[in-house]
Structure 1
Amino acid sequence: MEQHINTKRVVTTVTKTLTLDLIDATGAATPLDTELSYNPADPFAVTATFLTVAGEVRWTFGRDLLIGGLYEPTGDGDVHVWPCLDTDAHSVVMIELCSPDGEALVQARTSDITAFVTEMTQLVAPGAETHLVDIDGAIAAILAEAA
């Protein structure tokens, strides 16, 4: 965990660097360096930053997908996460990302995702996310923009 001191409060983020496997249409795997990050300033989201030869590609999606995807298939829209076994019968987590620009299927070792999720949920327990969101402030900002 990294800590950043702010004059108002301490903001702690969880960051994990790992290598995922990008799975192509034939089932072949290509290593893909990735950084997973969680910041309580956006308490419902996880960001995956994929480090490609063309540059960084960021996907932000619901942290509940990553938490639930350890145990059962989750996701309805652009992101799907589910537990699986790889070709060597090792436990992995599959993450499918879909956009108008294309699709990607990556797999991560379950132990890597579990370690990240454990740190993240120690920082902000499931169900406690709403305590970190300033709903009144967000509504006031939207109304101020509309005026």
Structure 2
Amino acid sequence: MSMRLRYEPTDPYVVRACFFTDSDEPVEWILGRDLLADGLRGSAGEGDIRIWSAVGRGDRSMYIALGSSAGTALLEVPVPDVMTFLEDTEALVPQGTESGHIDWDVELANLLADS
């Protein structure tokens, strides 16, 4: 299985993680950018998504556990790759400035259209 992470500054709080399995269609999960960063420093998340790093034990990996009604998956991801990805997102949208990158008029229009 392989994973591709995608970040869009117009949706600055999330990271889209696309997992490529043996099936025809990839599986996409939406992860909080902060959750992914917290997982580098220790254990983060609860319920359907849990992330933790094993770097302190000499491992260069972090682990992502995903669960749904369809099943569960435990993924091993190289820490340097995730660190580089998060540094790149930080260069686009520094932490704490996310709300300034959202088009609130469009978001409000979407909410009103859905009601």
TM-score by length of 2: 0.86
Partner of 2:79: 110
Cα distance in 1 for residues equivalent to 2:15 and 2:66: 14
Partner of 2:62: 93
Q: Which has the higher helix share?
A: 2
Shift of residue 90 of structure 1?
2.2
Shift of residue 91 of structure 1?
2.2
Structure 2: runs of 5 or more not aligned: none
Cα distance in 1 for residues equivalent to 2:106 and 2:71: 36
Superposed counterparts of 1:22-101, under 5 Å: 32-55=1-24, 56-85=26-55, 89-101=58-70
Shift of residue 116 of structure 1?
0.9
Aligned letter for 2:82? I
Aligned letter for 2:86? V
TM-score by length of 1: 0.69
Q: Could you report, residue by residue, the CA deviation over 1:42-67 in whole angstroms, capped at 9, with x for unpaired residues?
A: 11111111111213111111111111
Structure 1: runs of 5 or more not aligned: 1-31
Shift of residue 107 of structure 1?
1.1
Q: Could you report, residue by residue, the CA deviation over 1:62-104 in whole angstroms, capped at 9, with x for unpaired residues?
A: 111111111021112321111115x9x3221111111111111
Give the 4+ runs in structure 1 shifted more than 6 A: none
Q: Which has the higher strand share?
A: 1
Q: Flag the structure with larger Rg.
A: 1
Equivalenced residue count is: 114
Partner of 2:102: 133
Q: What SS does structure 1 have at the residue aligned with 2:45?
A: coil
Identical positions, percent? 35
Cα distance in 2 for residues equivalent to 1:102 and 1:37: 23
Change (3 A) 1:118 1:54: same
